[in-house]
Chains A and B, each alone.
Chain A
Amino acid sequence: MVELSQTVLLKAYRLMRTIREFESRVAVEFEAGTVPGFTHLYLGQEAIATGVCMHLTDADAISSTHRGHGHCIAKGCDVKKMMLELYCKRDGLCKGKGGSMHIADISKGMLGANAIVGAGAPLAVGAALTARTLGTPNVAVAFGGDGATNQGTVFESMNFAVVLRLPLIFAVENNGYGEHTGISYHLGAKDLVTRSAAFGMPAEEVDGTDFFAVYEAAGRAVARARAGGGPSTVVSVAARWRGHFEGDPQTYRDLAEIKELRKHKDCLKKFRQRVIADGSLKAEQLDAIDAEVAQLIDAAVNEAKAAPPPAPEDLTTDVYVSY
């Protein structure tokens, strides 16, 4: 196992804590009715986006999912502008025209949350194709859930990436549910690793609530892609703490399962215990990050609530570059 520097550990913790705080606050605000539209939270899965995106630069691209806020934060999107976007305000990342399910920042290589399950994979293929064509060392990551792996787009993209030997990582987040349907029912194959490997690429499975496990596996996959070794799949077994969407009564799920996940599959708790136990970080350092992040999210929400909405004339702009 590689020893991680304090800088890397602190960054990882800050990112995971930021996602946790952002999403926890969105849950509260959504329930209070201040956030418009539909929203799907990343709570419980923070270690995956963080463990993968910490290997990426702004020049690397990711495609995301309907559960995309965590990917955005991990990829370096501005948290305040994200919150403004969730509130559909004029100064949001997408001028309030995208909202939770389409939040994007191309300048950060974040090609958008995506409201169509499985639709991000072909887009990541395209980003990897750009890297191949221009001869850059950039890579692309296609995030997607276990539910998305049943989409033809994902099958097509996996084969396409192998055929063209593209610098692409399929970051599969197996949180046990495709919307309201459990994986024991919706997956016909034995497991996702075997199925991904059947396309002709290396695939491995890790505990998605263990930052270190995700970070190491993603590091191997990213290094392989950058070196011209083609695509890989990393399946992270995740814990979905919330419903498919906010407001989902989760009648299909045993509440004890969620309690169990929160108790034993909390990536932040596990991270904290480990780095304190092995002496790499001190509790005070982590507490200080907690306080800063709480303040940041609080400010972001207050700012977003007070910010102006898009102007009526914004309705018809940004459809075409020229028309």
Chain B
Amino acid sequence: MSKKSFRHAITEAIRHEMERDPRVIFFGEDIVGGFGGSANKRGASGGIMGTTVGLYEQFGEKRIFDTPISESAIMGAAAGAALTGLRPIAELMFADFLGVCFDQIFNQAAKFRYMFGGNAKTPMVIRMMTGAGFGAAAQHSQALWPIFTHIPGLKVVLPSNPYDAKGLLIQAIRDDDPVIFMEHKVMYDDMMEVPDGPYAIPFGEANVTRAGDDVTVVAFGRMVQFANKVADKLAGKISLDVIDPRTTSPMDTETIIESVEHTGRLVVVDEAYPLCSTASEVISIVAEHALKALKTAPVKVTPPHTPVPAAPGLEALYVPSVETIEKAVLKVMAG
């Protein structure tokens, strides 16, 4: 056990699984760096966020390599390799690039098992960066997990801290279904105690990060950190039950329902767009299964229904914050 960054936790997870299973391969754009450059130095970058440093040196070009900028070919190659016996990890650098390769993910990889009557499996992981906070604007900042969550056949993972990142990524690589693994780009430098050896965190099991009695706060990904801050700030006055579902597909509905039955109040915090979203889904689950427990109407804390702006001031307004979450908590307490 030692303090590790989110970035390092990701690298360790990939390393453990590549060491354990020779069928695990890893490819994407610029994950190694230096293929074809004038420096003639392979391994030059280790990924644009440094999540893959040292892996090329350890595993070599057969197991980890850079590809042309061809997202459809990357995703399809992963799906085809998974169908024929490998366990590929494919990197889609930014979640926003989904727009150029969605067919290979949602019409191909996600559907093989069903279309082929259960006679196929597609064990692959698609890693991608997600989320706002770097002023990267509308095409490099989106939180698109609701789109993936909507598709049967995909599993969707949103780690909120380095410990979960490592355990969930190991589970993703060992999983026999296609898994979308979304890493918030603002969290790579987050530090935490993380075990040195491999461990897997099962999907569909929420983590209750703060236990409380007054308000259930369901938060996704980076928003869990904000919700925890609000819980700590209000401690002694209002007690929050903060739930991090960790995966949006499968979703741990049981933990959410039990909590709302206990508290009677619900705030959902999500960085994704608000319409037909994971936040909407949580409220729908509670409406269906725990309506009578609610003392007041649930509140959704999400960005407005707009693209992500470039201006730092506007971006700060766009993303849910400790302040907007606290306001929502006070609102359900007053209601």
Enumerate A89-118 residues with CB–CB distance to B below 8 Å.
92-98, 102, 104-107, 111-112, 114-116
* Contact flags A307-323 to B (C-beta < 8 A → 1, else 0): 00000000001111111
Does B119 contact A104, Cβ atoms closer than 8 Å? Answer: yes
B72 at the interface (CB under 8 A from A): yes
Contacts A134-B85, A160-B70 given; indicate if A104 touches B120 (C-beta within 8 A): yes
CB of A66 to closest CB in B, whole Å = 12
Asked if B197 is at the interface (CB within 8 A of a chain A CB), the reply is no
Instruction: Decide: A130 and B73 in contact? CB cutoff 8 A.
Output: no
B133 within 8 A of A: no
Roughly how many angstroms separate A185 CA and B67 CA in the complex, as a whole number? 33
In the complex, chain B residues whose CB is within 8 Å of the CB of A130? 80-81, 84-86
Judged by a CB distance under 8 angstroms, whether B107 is at the interface is yes
Candidates B81, B86, B113; contact of A318 at CB < 8 Å: B113
- In the complex the two chains form, what is the Cα distance from A61 to B77 in whole Å? 13
Q: How many residues of chain B have a CB within 8 Å of chain A? A: 47
Bound together, the chains give a CA A286 to CA B80 distance in angstroms of 38
Q: Would you call B108 an interface residue if the criterion is a C-beta within 8 Å of the partner chain's C-beta atoms?
A: yes
When the two chains form their complex, are residues B119 and A94 in contact, meaning their CB atoms are under 8 A apart? Answer: yes
* Closest beta carbon of chain A to B121's beta carbon, Å: 5
Contact (Cβ within 8 A) A122 B76: yes
Closest A residue to B123 by CB, please name it: A321
A122 touches B77 (CB 8 A): yes
Given A122-B104, A321-B113, A156 and B68 touching (CB < 8 A)? yes
User: Within 8 Å CB of A128, what residues of B?
Assistant: 80
Chain B contacts for A98, CB-based, 8 A: 115-117
- By a CB distance below 8 angstroms, the chain A residues around B134 are none
Instruction: Identify which of A104, A112, A129 contacts B77 (C-beta below 8 A).
Output: A129
Q: Does the CB pair B119–A105 fall under 8 Å? A: yes
> Do A102 and B83 have beta carbons less than 8 Å apart?
no
Asked if A119 and B152 make an inter-chain contact with CB atoms under 8 angstroms apart, the answer reads no
| B73 touching A153, Cβ below 8 Å | yes
Q: Contact string, A37-62, partner B, CB cutoff 8 A, digits 1/0?
A: 00000000000000000000000010
CB closest residue in chain B, given A321? B176
Cβ-defined partner of B84 (8 Å) among A121, A127, A322: A127
Instruction: Tell me whether A159 is interfacial, beta carbon within 8 Å.
Output: yes
Known: A156-B73, A319-B152. A106 touches B115 (CB 8 A): no
A169 interfacial contact with B, CB 8 Å: no
Q: Is A125 an interface residue, CB under 8 A from the partner?
A: yes
Compute how far the CA of A121 lies from the CA of B68 in the bound complex, rounded to whole angstroms: 16
Most buried by B among A98, A164, A318: A318
Q: Is B245 an interface residue when CB atoms closer than 8 A count as contact?
A: no
Asked whether, in the complex, the Cβ of A123 is within 8 Å of the Cβ of B108, the reply is yes
B91 within 8 A of A: no
The listed residue with most A CB atoms (<10 A of its CB), out of B80, B88, B103, is B80
Set of chain B residues within 8 Å of A72, measured between Cβ atoms: none
Q: A231: shortest Cβ distance to chain B, in Å?
A: 13
Cβ of B112 under 8 Å from chain A: yes
Cβ-based interface call for B63 (8 A): yes
CA distance A104 to B118 in the complex (A): 11
CB pair B113 A132 closer than 8 Å: no
**Given A156-B70, A319-B152: A97 and B83 within 8 A (CB)?**
no
Give the residue of B81, B107, B113 whose beta carbon is less than 8 angstroms from that of A129: B81
Shortest CB distance B91–A (Å): 15
For B107, give the chain A residue with the smallest CB separation.
A116
Q: Does B95 contact A (CB under 8 A)?
A: no
Cβ of A152 under 8 Å from chain B: yes
Q: Which chain B residue has the least Cβ–Cβ distance from A91?
A: B117
A293 to B: closest C-beta gap in Å = 26
B153 within 8 A of A: yes
Q: Confirm or deny: B250 has a beta carbon within 8 angstroms of a beta carbon on chain A.
A: yes
CB-contact partner of B76 in A93, A107, A121, under 8 A:
A121
Contact with A along B64-78 (1 / 0, CB 8 A): 010110101101111
Which B238-289 residues have a C-beta within 8 angstroms of A?
250
Cβ-neighbour of A321 out of B73, B84, B177, B204 (below 8 A): B177
Of B70, B116, B119, B123, most A-chain CB atoms within 10 Å: B116
Chain B residues closer than 8 Å to A114, beta-carbon distance? 108
B272 to chain A, nearest CB (A): 22
Are A127 and B114 closer than 8 Å at their CB atoms? no
B155-193 at interface with A (beta carbon < 8 Å): 155, 175-177
CA distance A139 to B155 in the complex (A): 30
* B68, A111: Cβ atoms closer than 8 Å: no
CA distance A121 to B152 in the complex (A): 23
Our pick among B67, B82, B117 for the contact of A92 (Cβ within 8 Å) is: B117
Tell me the B residues contacting A by CB distance below 8 Å. 23, 25, 62-63, 65, 67-68, 70, 72-73, 75-86, 88, 103-104, 107-108, 111-121, 123, 152-153, 155, 175-177, 204, 250
What are 29 A-B contacts defined by CB distance under 8 Å? A93-B119, A94-B116, A95-B118, A96-B117, A104-B120, A106-B116, A112-B115, A119-B76, A122-B108, A123-B79, A123-B108, A126-B76, A126-B80, A126-B81, A126-B82, A128-B80, A129-B77, A129-B86, A130-B80, A132-B62, A133-B81, A157-B73, A159-B73, A160-B68, A318-B117, A318-B118, A321-B177, A322-B176, A323-B155
